Amino acid sequence: MTRRYIPLCLVLAGVLAAGCDSLEQNPVATSSKDAVFGSENGLSLYVNSFYNWMPDANNITQSESMTDYSARRDVPQFLRAGVYNPRVTDLTASGQYEVVALGGDVNWRWNTLRSINYFLVNNNDPAVLEKTRNNYNGIARFFRAWFYFEKVKRYGDVPWIDKPLDVSDPALHGGRDSRTVVMDHVLEDLDYAIANITSTNEGSRTLITKDVALALKSRVALFEGTFRKYHPELALQGTADKWLNESANSAKVLMDSKRYSLYTGSGPTDSYRQVFIRDVPIAQEVLLTNAQSTALAVRHQANWIFTSATTGVRFSFIRQFINTYLNIDGTPFTNTAGYQQMTFQDETKNRDRRLSQTIRTPGYKRIQAGVQIPGPPAFTYTYTGYHPIKWSVDDVAMDGGALNTNAVHLFRYAEVLLNYAEAKAELGQLTDADWAVTVGALRSRAGITGGLTTLPTVVDPYLKSVYFPNISNPVILEVRRDRGIELAMEGLRFYDIVRWARGSLMEMEWRGIYVPQVNQNIDLDENGTPDVYFYTVLPANRPAGITFISVTGTDFKLANGTSGEIVWRNDIPRKWDDKMYLYPIPESDLLTNPALKQNPGW
């Protein structure tokens, strides 16, 4: 099951100060440290409390409510000029898993770090074997590395603190350390974790292992290497290759171990989706998961979020991203003559099979009272027609609350393969053999038949012009294509856009399916029954089972008036500013400690 523990500071009444959020609050001394640090059981109990910091299943499944490829109910405050600032923050601004609240950014909180540092400073009791102590120190340093990685992603420079602070410590009122200092420490922590965590391949996939530490290192180092490469304002481009090599090397250790592989047991049309809808994680591909349990009341609400007209932001993919899915023969869909005017029914045929396992497409069925029923895109939910199914299950009975028991993953082998491929591509070192076992293998699982064993040599003009105009290397372009498709809705896209310095993609118009003509029935799933009717004049006869949608408003319309792609919410401007590559330091913390200083532009 998912690890959720009562904080140890409450268990031992004084090990830590409960609820401390900022750097100015301090831990309290304990009179019973021996109860924790004098036995392996005590160390295990303490370290288990760190799992409370990890994102839960709802955090992950809802983490992409603000990305370049998602339309939603409203425009995020973060993207509305003059709305987001260090005083008022957006509940769904970041794409990160931690919630942001009005009146202060809780992502700035430091209580988890205080708990980790207290453990590391005090885990030195000789009554416990050194190897055992080092194992738990490795887990603690894994969490410290992950904690700091999230801080640096969001704020850039942050204070590096590796000890619990008392009231007289000058660090309480010090400034921020440079990202180079902090990230070097993060790398040290990850290397220590990899060297000292004893568990390698834990069966439940709910615990931190050496392999999970390797996966995190590949993620962290890829982010840092590409961020430094594509953000010249840091003046750190000369150090980017070091980080890219670290990413590739850690991923390669996992690849060479042969402990993991892509799940293919359900065939091209179903294997990908099975990874996301099973209650028991598929261990050959999943490294770390949030397992769910009805018996223990640990469940998430993906079905509710991705079917409800009123709950959540009604995340929908946009057409520009759907266009990036290849044809089944491995050629770009956008090379197809007339693709711009293809209907939903036609554009979803003969495509990368991940498309039909990520959104509802013709042939998708739901289950109601044990009976399969048609499952077309529901315009009571989706704004664009591209209705997600990746984390939701097919049973209609799961749609009404926090009822989902399918496991939701934090790390899986597919990401490791993509980290390796991207790092090597950025270094100019990706070979045909590398391609075949990374991107080629992912495409093969998805039923694609062409281009699986040799590096791409031709730039896709659509991918370059619409997404990455500054990239002329076809290998990098194609790796980025597959990263977007393979890892969609897994909480990584926003910071992929950030590290690639492509924040302007957040301004992309929210476009949906192509509607050839208004005022006529459309059978989206081709089962002989109409599903939706876009109208300029509401018809008098409105049969049940058809959703009627006006295209005459300012928020929902068609590009050509009475035909064309759906256009949603272009009446509210979205604006990206390069200062948004870093979030502001909360104003309340700056008032308490002016030495922190604000990030540029805020």
- Is residue 81 within 8 Å of 507, Cβ to Cβ? no
Helix H or strand E encompassing 410: strand 408-412
Handedness of CA 127, 186, 47, 2 (dihedral sign): negative
Which residue is associated with the tokens 């992603």? 153
Q: Give 129-178 pLDDT, tens digit per residue.
A: 999 999 999 999 999 999 999 999 999 999 999 999 988 899 999 999 99
d(CA 93, CA 76): 6
Asked if the structure places residue 276 within a domain, the reply is: no
Q: Give 487-543 pLDDT, tens digit per residue.
A: 999 999 999 999 999 999 999 999 999 999 999 999 999 999 999 999 999 999 999
Do 475 and 592 fall within a single domain?
A: no
Model pLDDT, residue 525: 97
Asked if the structure places residue 112 within a domain, the reply is: yes
d(CA 586, CA 602): 10
- Packing angle of the helix pair 210-230, 240-257 (nearest 10 deg): 150
Do 246 and 209 fall within a single domain?
A: yes
**What phi, psi does 557 have (nearest 5°)?**
-155, 175
Structure tokens at 135: 């194992």
Asked if the structure places residue 1 within a domain, the reply is: yes
Asked if the structure places residue 380 within a domain, the reply is: yes
Torsion angle of alpha carbons 116, 122, 127, 133, nearest 10°? 30
Which residue is associated with the tokens 């109409």? 530
Do 459 and 540 fall within a single domain?
A: no
Q: What is the DSSP letter of 586?
A: P
Residue 545 region by backbone torsions, left for phi larger than 0, else alpha for psi between -120 and 50, else beta: left
Q: What is the DSSP letter of 351?
A: B
Do 570 and 601 fall within a single domain?
A: yes
Do 370 and 466 fall within a single domain?
A: no
Full domain range(s) for residue 23: 1-55+105-180
Model pLDDT, residue 167: 86
Asked if the structure places residue 78 within a domain, the reply is: yes
pLDDT band of 32, cuts 50, 70, 90: confident
Model pLDDT, residue 103: 36
Lowest-pLDDT range of 81-85, 135-139, 347-351, 392-396? 81-85
- Per the DSSP assignment, residues forming a β-bridge with 102 are none
pLDDT at 92 over 50: no
Do 416 and 397 fall within a single domain?
A: no
Model pLDDT, residue 106: 81
Asked if the structure places residue 49 within a domain, the reply is: yes
Single residue among 130, 146, 180 that ends a domain in this structure: 180
Q: Give 44-77 pLDDT, tens digit per residue.
A: 999 999 999 999 999 999 999 999 999 999 999 9
Model pLDDT, residue 87: 87
pLDDT at 10 over 90: no
Asked if the structure places residue 232 within a domain, the reply is: yes
Q: Give 287-345 pLDDT, tens digit per residue.
A: 999 999 999 999 999 999 999 999 999 999 999 999 999 999 999 999 999 999 999 99
d(CA 258, CA 353): 26
Question: What is the value of pTM for the model shown?
Answer: 0.94
pLDDT at 246 over 90: yes
Do 512 and 371 fall within a single domain?
A: yes
- Is residue 60 within 8 Å of 408, Cβ to Cβ? yes
Report how many domains make up the chain: 3
DSSP-derived pairing of the beta strands 547-550 and 532-535: parallel
Please name the amino acid found at residue 42.
G
Give the residue, 373 or 33, on which the prediction is more confident.
373
Q: How many residues are given for the chain?
A: 602
d(CA 344, CA 31): 67
pLDDT at 97 over 80: no
pLDDT mean across residues, the chain: 93
Q: Residue 422: which CATH number? A: 1.25.40.900
Torsion angle of alpha carbons 401, 403, 406, 407, nearest 10°? 80
Do 598 and 568 fall within a single domain?
A: yes
Asked if the structure places residue 363 within a domain, the reply is: yes
Q: In what order do the strands lie in the sheet with 532-535?
A: 520-522, 532-535, 547-550
pLDDT band of 26, cuts 50, 70, 90: very low
Handedness of CA 153, 155, 159, 161 (dihedral sign): negative
Single residue among 180, 211, 237 that ends a domain in this structure: 180
pLDDT band of 237, cuts 50, 70, 90: very high
Do 423 and 558 fall within a single domain?
A: no
Do 142 and 49 fall within a single domain?
A: yes
Model pLDDT, residue 105: 78
Cβ burial, residue 528 (10 Å; 0-12/13-18/19+): exposed
Do 78 and 150 fall within a single domain?
A: no
Structure tokens at 568: 């949603």
d(CA 348, CA 342): 9
Do 328 and 438 fall within a single domain?
A: no
Q: Give 399-450 pLDDT, tens digit per residue.
A: 999 999 999 999 999 999 999 999 999 999 999 999 999 999 999 999 999 9
